[in-house]
Amino acid sequence: MSRKALIAANWKMNGTKALIEAVNNVLAEIDTEAELLICPPATLLPFFPPSNKVALGGQDVSAAVSGAYTGQLSASLLKEAGATYSLIGHSERRQYQFETDALIAEKVVTAVTAGLTPVLCVGETLQERQQEKTQQVIAKQLAAVYASHPELLVKSVIAYEPIWAIGTGESATPEQAQETHAFIRDVLQSYDNVAAQQVRILYGGSVNAENSAALFTQPDIDGALVGGASLKPDEFAQICLNYQTSAKE
């Protein structure tokens, strides 16, 4: 089953109009097999020029459709600003905004209903990995969304982001990542067998120009969610170039 790769940039609370220009200039020059996605701070979305090459996404979306939710952004607001995707359930939101699996599931429903593609982020802490609970934790995070809404899987992207690898410079090894990606695909089969083969599972956590090519050779790694390295235009472009279907194991 060949899946179109997706390389996504998560700028987090960083970025400027100058970075938009620099990244666009570099990406315009490269020929990559992957689809490209940038998730900047939402205030920057309208400053991206229209592009066929780079899709835009939010970093979060409200579970509510509209109304009195000070500070939140609805799916339709994000869409109007140019987004077609949104990250949902990033570990920094789970940790700092106390987002629960139940809230994250609501957000996925709201996003899909409004026509945004959710990039659902899952992953374990270092302690959970050491206690050999990685699979249990991830199965629960996936079940929270897809057990009651299996029909949403075909409209989703999944990002596996081990929390111990985010921003630490210590990426999962290609073998560690592949093992968990294969597990995720297995779990998803119980919700929708066909969609589980089609859904793109991105790896995130200290992806950079050096380690990305080896990660991308793994059969169940369909792209990357890149934080820190996505703020360096040349490095992000190199990561995009490193995705080569022909190198898949």
Stretch that binds ligand PGA, among 106-114, 140-148, 179-187, 224-232 (CB under 6 A): 224-232
One of 90, 99, 181, 235 is an active-site residue; which one? Answer: 90
123 is a site residue for ligand PGA (CB under 6 A):
no
Is 181 one of the catalytic residues? no
One of 99, 161, 181, 235 is an active-site residue; which one? Answer: 161
**Least distance to ligand PGA, CB of residue 95, Å:** 11
Closest CA to 85 of 50, 49, 34, 45: 45
204 is a site residue for ligand PGA (CB under 6 A):
yes
Binder among 226, 237, 239, 240 for ligand PGA (CB under 6 A): 226
Stretch that binds ligand PGA, among 22-30, 132-140, 160-168, 180-188 (CB under 6 A): 160-168
Separation between Cα atoms, residue 135 and residue 56, nearest integer Å: 31
Total site size for ligand PGA, rule CB under 6 A = 13
Is 161 one of the catalytic residues? yes
Q: How many CB atoms lie within 10 A of CB 92?
A: 20
Position 150, amino acid: P
Tokens of 174: 């290609």
Question: Can you count the helices (H) and strands (E) in the chain?
Answer: 10, 8
Separation between Cα atoms, residue 227 and residue 123, nearest integer Å: 15
10 is a site residue for ligand PGA (CB under 6 A):
yes
Position 152, amino acid: L
161 is a site residue for ligand PGA (CB under 6 A):
yes
SS3 of 119, please?
Answer: strand
Binder among 19, 105, 202, 225 for ligand PGA (CB under 6 A): 225
Q: Residues, the chain, total?
A: 249
When the beta carbons of 195 and 211 are compared against ligand PGA, the nearer one is: 211
**Least distance to ligand PGA, CB of residue 189, Å:** 25
Separation between Cα atoms, residue 142 and residue 22, nearest integer Å: 36
205 is a site residue for ligand PGA (CB under 6 A):
yes
Please, is 13 exposed, middle or buried when counting C-beta atoms within 10 Å of its C-beta (0-12, 13-18, 19+)? exposed
166 is a site residue for ligand PGA (CB under 6 A):
yes
**Least distance to ligand PGA, CB of residue 216, Å:** 15
Closest CA to 112 of 155, 74, 77: 155
Tokens of 49: 């020029």
When the beta carbons of 104 and 225 are compared against ligand PGA, the nearer one is: 225
**Least distance to ligand PGA, CB of residue 109, Å:** 22
CA–chain centroid gap for 150, Å, is: 19
Binding site for ligand PGA (CB under 6 A): 10, 161, 166-167, 204-207, 225-229
- Point out the residues that are catalytic: 90, 161
